[in-house]
């Protein structure tokens, strides 16, 4: 029932079941048990009272074949390896100096993206309207930031574009249903071809990343080492080795909501004109003064979360959630989409723009 049908997405089907069975219930996924949470109160209990018990991630065909046998930080189970990776991420990638670099790269890429839009308008003899594929443009901005931060490359580079296609395929395959995830004893079965696609994507993505890594290593061998404030993520990881991540989807939905709610668009434009003016672009320091624009982004994330269902977790030990006994090995499915549309939260949650 959950996997069949083309009219409802999984988070929507689980939302319908929430209306029928309540904010917390158990379902069977083949031979495995999954505990579905669709209430902010229960979610809070999961990640406060039971945060230690639910800290791990399940092993799936996707994480095995595309995440170096479950060792990639965001998908790895709770273990000494995960704790060490978390320490590296916090110290090397999310330090204050690195966040400053991220801010500068974001400003550079956004300015380049706006200039690209202006060039399209100029090429149209300065006449309106100019048709823009919003999803493609916002993806360009997002991936340009990612590629510059990770490898110090310009997104227009052909290899970087290939990496975008591979990353998109990676996340698509992370969400597909594989029979062996529900019935582990059928690990050898791949009649859908998903495992074959996962192995190919992993191999292709690894080849791209390996070439970037080798470029950085050769540059360091030749003595051409970047200054610390100019290093990308690969440089910083190599340095750590020697010593011993707005999405495109959110941006597209935000603009779509504004275009379909002219009164909200007008308010946002008036706030920008008043707080920033019309003679310059918005800077990072302006954000704190743009209260209405911040509300628009938060409302967009509420209505259209980047991940309607949070990444699955797995109970490492028996625990109690919302009065239910949850045995070790149970999968936890958090329906973010349903929680953020819960009418018990506040009035008007079904409206696109409430302010």
Comparing CA positions, the residue from 88, 94, 98, 90 lying closest to residue 237 is 88
Which pLDDT does position 245 carry in this prediction? 38
Token pair for residue 153? 């490359």
Which pLDDT does position 336 carry in this prediction? 92
Q: pLDDT at residue 95 above 60?
A: yes
Cα-Cα-Cα-Cα dihedral of 300, 302, 306, 309, to 10°? -160
Which pLDDT does position 346 carry in this prediction? 58
Q: pLDDT at residue 5 above 70?
A: no
pLDDT for 160-197, tens place per residue? 678 888 888 998 999 888 989 989 888 888 888 999 99
The domains of the chain, with CATH numbers, are: 1-58+312-354 (3.30.43.20), 61-249 (1.10.630.10)
Q: pLDDT at residue 50 above 70?
A: yes
Q: Which DSSP helix (H) or strand (E) runs through 35?
A: strand 32-37
Q: For residues 74 and 311, is the Cβ–Cβ distance under 8 A?
A: yes
Burial of 55 from C-beta contacts in 10 A (0-12 / 13-18 / 19+): middle
Q: Say which residue, 7 or 152, is predicted with more confidence.
A: 152
pLDDT for 260-312, tens place per residue? 777 888 888 888 888 888 888 787 788 888 899 888 888 888 888 888 888 88
Phi and psi at 321, nearest 5°, equal -130, 125
pLDDT for 122-166, tens place per residue? 887 767 777 888 777 887 788 888 888 777 777 666 666 788 888
């Amino acid at each position: 029932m959950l996997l069949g049908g083309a009219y409802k997405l999984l988070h929507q089907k689980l939302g319908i079941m929430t209306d029928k069975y309540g904010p917390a219930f158990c379902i069977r996924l083949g031979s495995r048990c999954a505990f579905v949470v669709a209430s902010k109160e229960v979610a809070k209990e999961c990640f406060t009272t039971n945060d230690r018990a639910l800290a791990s991630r399940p092993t799936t065909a996707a994480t095995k074949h595309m995440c170096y046998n479950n060792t990639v930080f965001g998908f790895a189970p709770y273990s000494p390896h995960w704790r060490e990776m978390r320490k590296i991420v916090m110290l090397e990638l999310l330090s204050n100096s690195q966040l400053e670099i991220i801010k500068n790269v974001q400003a550079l890429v956004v300015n380049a993206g706006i200039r690209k839009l202006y060039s399209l308008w100029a090429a149209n003899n300065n006449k309106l309207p100019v048709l823009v594929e919003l999803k493609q443009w916002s993806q360009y901005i997002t991936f340009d930031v990612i590629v510059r931060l990770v490898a110090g490359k310009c997104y227009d580079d052909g290899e970087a574009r290939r990496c975008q296609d591979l990353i998109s395929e990676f996340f698509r395959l992370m969400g597909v249903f594989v029979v062996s995830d529900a019935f582990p004893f059928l690990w050898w079965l791949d009649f859908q071809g998903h495992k074959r696609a996962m192995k190919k994507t992993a191999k292709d993505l690894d080849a791209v990343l390996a070439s970037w890594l080798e470029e950085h290593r050769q540059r360091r061998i030749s003595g051409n080492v970047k200054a610390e404030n100019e290093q990308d993520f690969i440089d910083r990881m190599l340095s750590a080795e020697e010593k011993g991540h707005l999405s495109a989807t959110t941006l597209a939905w935000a603009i779509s909501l504004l275009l379909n709610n002219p009164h909200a668009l007008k308010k946002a434009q008036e706030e920008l004109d008043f707080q920033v003016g019309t003679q310059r672009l918005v800077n990072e320091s302006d954000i704190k003064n743009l209260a209405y624009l911040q509300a628009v982004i938060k409302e967009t994330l509420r209505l259209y979360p980047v991940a309607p269902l949070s990444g699955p977790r797995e109970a490492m030990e028996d625990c109690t959630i919302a009065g239910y006994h949850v045995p070790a090995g149970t999968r936890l499915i958090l329906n973010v989409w349903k929680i953020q549309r819960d009418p018990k939260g506040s009035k008007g949650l079904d409206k696109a723009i409430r302010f």
